[in-house]
A = this chain, B = another copy of it.
């Protein structure tokens, strides 16, 4: 027997649920199919629990400043790691429950728990049932990468999928892969008392393309734990743990966190049964403005497309895929929607953030780079976090802000101002007219704007003012 539906959504993660919200507006004849545990990556093993861990670590680490502030007793503070992990898990459960509330109310007609695979471009099979859909949305998410060679090391190599289930932390860990996740968790673990070694085969952390920001990040982070950069790690089981080797460096640790990135959950979908075109990495080719795969009645959204694996982009893509999938099913119409400005935050301390175009994409002759070192920024000094740098990429021809990279205190907030400015097409002249309160970290952005201005030709007296 074959059921027929307007839209089938594969995956009840963030992207799938955003898609669902669009689909439900137009039809009740849809099905949401989810393999594995319900609850989003974000809430279960991603953004949310990691932020709780980081918050605890940051609060504990703050004692390092107590001496200069006249606060006594810092040396009496200690972390009860199992209690901290329980706190992480408690809040994690709150966040997971929130995401589950969407699927909790769904009946069996609309929600199927099982792994779907394609039979053809418009038919899937799940739990032995075939479902024919006018549109299909692939939103199956991603899973952490673990190299085949490391599979044997079993329990001693963990990923974020397992990490937040730990009831205690080991005495020592290597964090292999220093993208956002590796940096965030590595630093938090070190602060909570784990002896952490960070390893990455690249000389960059957090995918930074700006050498000055990368250097600042490495300088600040290595004050807390060693970063081994530029050599791939190899692992070997030894009597007392796992030996990690990278170039001429070696350390034996209790456990390894593999934070080497995530790969799309495509393997079980049987894409071979469809006409989906794949790129060299085996990822489906799609139009980022419509989320459609070629001319097929198939859409893709979220981490599974290996592009912009962050929640607000999964939301954007889910909305677009859901809207287009259901309109495609009902009327054949497919609309194009502008993408948001690229935006990434690593929630280490200080934060690392990138917005808009990055140095690798820019012609250096066409831009000036406005830079501010945080050392003299008043509020940063008051907070005791005045190591950092903010760089702005500004078009020479017209002062348009087109990108930014930073490693500094409160970058998560600064990056919002910057991303809104870039998405609106603001020039640095526009931005300098905006209010900057005092004394706030936003004044560092103001200083970076002035630094960019000083490199442009012209007399910019009273650039802060709007003449009437």
In the bound complex, CA of A369 to CA of B400 (Å): 34
Q: How far is the CA of A413 from the CA of B379 in the complex (A)?
A: 13
**Closest residue of chain B to A54, judged by CB?**
B382
- Taking CB atoms, residues of chain B closer than 8 Å to A335 are 467-468
Q: Which residues of B contact A82 (CB under 8 A)?
A: 70
**Per-residue CB proximity of A46-69 to B under 8 Å, as 1/0?**
011001100110011010011011
Chain B residues lying within 8 Å of A462, measured Cβ to Cβ, are 22, 319, 323, 337
Q: Shortest distance in angstroms between A388's beta carbon and chain B's nearest beta carbon?
A: 16
Q: Does A464 contact B (CB under 8 A)?
A: yes
CA distance A413 to B412 in the complex (A): 10
Contact A467 B337 (CB under 8 A): yes
Q: State the Cβ distance, A203 to closest chain B Cβ, in Å.
A: 26
- With beta carbons under 8 angstroms apart, the residue of B69, B80, B441, B465 that contacts A338 is B465
Residue on B nearest A290 in the bound complex, by CB: B468
Expressed in whole angstroms, the Cα–Cα distance for A80 and B73 within the complex equals 10
Q: How far is the CA of A420 from the CA of B66 in the complex (A)?
A: 35
Number of copies: 2
Partner among B25, B55, B84, B379 whose Cβ is within 8 Å of the Cβ of A382: B55
* Smallest beta-carbon distance A189→chain B, Å: 14
Asked if A109 is at the interface (CB within 8 A of a chain B CB), the reply is no
Residues of A403-431 contacting chain B, CB below 8 A: 410, 412-413, 415-417, 419-421, 423-424
Q: Which residues of B contact A415 (CB under 8 A)?
A: 437
Interface digits, A72-91 against B, CB 8 Å rule (1 contact, 0 not)?
Answer: 11101111111111110001
Is the interface on chain A under 10, 10 to 19, 20 to 34, or 35 or more residues? Answer: 35 or more
Across the interface, do A417 and B419 meet the contact criterion of CB distance under 8 Å? Answer: no
Q: Select from chain B the residue with minimum beta-carbon distance to A60.
A: B71
**Contact of A330 with B by CB under 8 A:** no
Binding site for B on A (CB under 8 A): 22, 25, 42, 47-48, 51-52, 55-56, 59-60, 62, 65-66, 68-74, 76-87, 91, 94-95, 289, 310-312, 315-316, 319-320, 323, 335-338, 340-341, 343, 345, 378-379, 381-384, 410, 412-413, 415-417, 419-421, 423-424, 433-442, 461-462, 464-468
Indicate if the CB atoms of A86 and B59 lie closer than 8 Å.
no
Bound-state CA distance A421–B69 (Å) is 36
A416 to B384, CA, bound (A): 22
Q: How far is the CA of A312 from the CA of B464 in the complex (A)?
A: 11
Q: A71–B78 contact, CB under 8 A?
A: yes
Which residues of chain B are near A77, meaning CB under 8 Å? 66, 71-74, 76-77
- Give chain B nearest CB distance to A27 CB in angstroms: 14
With A22-B462, A71-B79, A311-B439 known, 15 other A-B pairs at CB within 8 A are: A51-B439, A56-B71, A70-B81, A71-B80, A72-B77, A72-B79, A74-B77, A76-B76, A76-B77, A95-B378, A336-B467, A410-B413, A416-B436, A416-B440, A424-B434
A468, B56: Cβ atoms closer than 8 Å: no
Closest 3 CB pairs of A and B: A70-B83, A70-B84, A76-B76
Q: Do B73 and A76 have beta carbons less than 8 Å apart? A: yes
Most chain B beta-carbon contacts within 10 A, residue among A79, A82, A95, A416: A416
Please list 22 pairs of residues, one from A and one from B, whose beta carbons are closer than 8 Å in the complex, sorted by A's number: A48-B378, A51-B379, A56-B69, A68-B87, A69-B84, A70-B82, A70-B83, A70-B85, A70-B86, A73-B73, A73-B76, A91-B381, A289-B468, A311-B437, A311-B439, A312-B435, A312-B437, A340-B435, A413-B413, A420-B421, A420-B435, A424-B424
Cβ contacts under 8 Å, A94 to chain B: 381
A73-B76, A81-B70, A381-B91 as given contacts; A437 in contact with B343, CB under 8 Å: yes
A351 to B: closest C-beta gap in Å: 10
Tell me whether B312 and A436 are in contact (CB under 8 A).
yes
Cα–Cα distance between A437 and B78 once the two chains are bound (Å): 32
Q: Which residues of B contact A461 (CB under 8 A)?
A: 22, 25, 323
CA distance A316 to B433 in the complex (A): 10
Supposing A319-B462, A434-B419 touch, asked if A69 and B87 sit within 8 A by C-beta, the answer is yes
